[in-house]
Structure 1
Amino acid sequence: MASNDANGASDSRRLRLGVLISGSGSNLQALIDASESGHLPGVEIALVVSNVAGAQGLQRALKHKLPAMYLPWRHGQSEEQLADLLRLFQVDLLVLAGWMRILSASFLAQFPRRVINLHPALLPDDGTETTYTTSSGTHIPVFRGLHVVQQALDAGVPVTGSTVHYVTPEVDAGPVICRQEVAIEPGDSEETLHERLKVVEHRLIVEAVKKVPERGIF
């Protein structure tokens, strides 16, 4: 990935995003829309990569004339190829937007605090606690891993939400960049709750991309 030189020469260029997807790419579309509408000044999407050949997100990228490619995911090989691509395209910040593969500690060590993830549940500030205190003071479990929307419904909690966080070797446990609560309504199914979460996710992913450079990471 690109980095600042001693003279700060890279400060004058745009922040280059890499986006990893595995599915429809609706969060990628939120980033595209924000970039094209001027809500992400100084930011450009430099590369889109999917581990699924037929992912709709690839078509979204191509429609907007963004570099996009399919990268078959093979243990011990694909991460090296991905790292090479990120360097080739001079990616500054890697966004996991519906990416369904875990990145290894050795990969993340090459790009410290350069990888962020969107998680459809509420994570605590430091990412490591097992409970989360909601805005109303209610303590709820922290849901990590897969199927967290259904986990929240099964647990009977009154609220869930979405979080954008830095990626660490521990799954869904990195420091939080931003998040928003979403109330669980009577009769909610996984599908209806997920649809409301998506609306929040689309805003949060843009907010997070704005916040990372503001915090002086780059």
Structure 2
Amino acid sequence: MMRLAVMVSGSGSNLQALIDAQKSHQLNATIKVVICDQPKAQAISRTLEARIPVICVPLAKKASREQWAAQISELLAAFKPDLVVMAGWMRVMPASFVERWTPNIINQHPALLPHDGGECYTLSDGRQIPAIRGAHAVRDALALGVPVTGCTVHQITPIVDVGPVLAQVEVAVLPDDDQDSLHERIKQAERRILVEVINNLAQTVA
């Protein structure tokens, strides 16, 4: 069965979806370790409750990002993951880290990323919207006034929010949406496709 390592920074709602899928035998993989960079993140308690090993590796203010990332790589390697899943990981990792784990590292992003890495995304109805990258994709979708946004699961490359797309779901922006309501619907879609992507990738693991 596929061995997973999950990297997370926040509440861990998408991590919880993986834990729940694992418990209900809907996930064709086993979470072997969770790496968190925020000591007070709710994701830590979720992981402990599930009796999964969790390691907190905060980035100190004056620390070398390269050394910090190398430390995380060594911690991950000890658990021999077939796939590293960034499920709400908010740090941009150095190219050296990404290159070590590529192509076996995926990310989820709360917007629709173009397959060609360009600046526009073509919706299923043919309309085009701007590519929305970065840490504030939900807020930016509302600010731009796009009619539709969504979520993407993709392989990670050294270029932030650019990489081979594995799955996407469109989510309509409603007239009365605020950031919280829109983000919650996007999260619901994220949880579903993240499990689907992992199950698809698990078929390639002996």
- TM-score, L = length of structure 1: 0.89
Amino acid of the structure 1 residue aligned with 2:55? M
The answer for the alignment partner of 1:4 in structure 2 is none
The answer for the alignment partner of 1:130 in structure 2 is 119
Offset at 1:217? 7.3
The answer for the alignment partner of 1:144 in structure 2 is 133
The answer for the alignment partner of 2:163 in structure 1 is 174
Determine helix, strand or coil for the equivalent of 1:77.
helix
Q: 1:38-187 maps to which residues of 2 (within 5 A)? A: 38-41=25-28, 43-73=29-59, 74=63, 75-126=65-116, 128-187=117-176
Q: Point out the more displaced range, 153-162 or 73-82.
A: 73-82
CA RMSD of aligned residues (A): 1.2
The answer for the alignment partner of 1:22 in structure 2 is 9
The answer for the alignment partner of 2:199 in structure 1 is 210
Unaligned stretches of 5+ residues in structure 1:
1-13
Amino acid of the structure 2 residue aligned with 1:28? L
Amino acid of the structure 2 residue aligned with 1:140? I
Task: Give the share of equivalent positions with the same residue, in percent.
Answer: 46
CA distance in 1: counterparts of 2:32 and 2:205, whole angstroms: 19
Offset at 1:76? 2.3
CA distance in 2: counterparts of 1:189 and 1:179, whole angstroms: 22
- TM-score, L = length of structure 2: 0.94
Q: 1:26-37 maps to which residues of 2 (within 5 A)? A: 26-37=13-24
CA distance in 2: counterparts of 1:36 and 1:187, whole angstroms: 36
On the 8 A contact 1:177/1:211 being kept in 2, the answer is no
